[in-house]
Amino acid sequence: MSLEDDIAVLEQVPTLNTLGRRSLRALAMGVETSTISEGRKLFDAGDPADAAYVVLSGSFELFTGARDEEPLVVRPYTLLGELALLTETLRPLTAVARETSDVMRVPRSLFIKMLEGYPDTAVRMRDIMTARASQWSSELRRVRGMFDPSTKR
């Protein structure tokens, strides 16, 4: 794929599409693309995560390994492991290709370098993460309320 093709793909990815074309160009210049054969693992739960992956084609099943677990299926333009772009973490899930699939690897070091070079993008990323944290907190309070025996129904 050409640099312009890579930018066009990144523009289709939720979270990344808000970063702006200049920032995405900087990312696109350093991403790596690879093909994962059907049935092969992209990564295992518990693996150190130093990059995120954009699904370009095909699909992946994501699962924790719990017995009788229904895997989550992800398709093109999904960003896998976005937290790894910002911090050292471990993979919470295993990703297995359902069919031959192409992915774009975005290393954390590249992402951090891009944020350092584009402070306005770093502010947008902070705002996105802050909004998500607020939403997760609200959802958690709602779920806790559903299980709180002191709450009248």
CA 150 and chain centroid, separation:
37
- Nearest partner of 84 among 115, 112, 114, 122, judged by Cα: 112
| Ramachandran class of 59: left when φ > 0, alpha when ψ lies in -120 to 50, beta otherwise | beta
Domains assigned to the chain? 3-118 (2.60.120.10)
Question: Quick one: average pLDDT of 37-44?
Answer: 97
Q: Using 50, 70 and 90 to split pLDDT, how confident is the model at 138?
A: confident
Tell me the C-alpha to C-alpha distance, in Å, between residue 23 and each of 44, 114, 122, 124, 126. 29, 7, 10, 11, 15
pLDDT computed for residue 140 by the predictor = 84
Q: Using 50, 70 and 90 to split pLDDT, how confident is the model at 151?
A: low
pLDDT at 153 over 80: no
- Nearest partner of 106 among 6, 17, 46, 27, judged by Cα: 27
What pLDDT, in 10s, does the model give residues 47-104? 999 999 999 999 999 999 787 889 999 999 999 999 999 999 999 999 999 999 999 9
Question: Quick one: average pLDDT of 101-125?
Answer: 95
CA dist 32 and 12 (Å) reads 17
Mean pLDDT, rounded, of the chain: 92
State what percent of residues in the chain have pLDDT above 70: 98
What type of residue is 132? R
Tell me the C-alpha to C-alpha distance, in Å, between residue 150 and each of 14, 47, 138, 141, 143. 39, 40, 19, 14, 14
Q: Name which residue leads in pLDDT, 78 or 139.
A: 78
CB 104 within 8 A of CB 33: yes
**DSSP states of 35-81 as a string?**
EE-TT-EEE-TT-EE-EEEEEEES-EEEE---TTPPPEEE-TT-EE-
Q: Minimum mean pLDDT among 59-68, 82-91, 115-124, 141-150: which range?
A: 141-150
pLDDT computed for residue 102 by the predictor = 98
State what percent of residues in the chain have pLDDT above 90: 74
pLDDT at 150 over 90: no
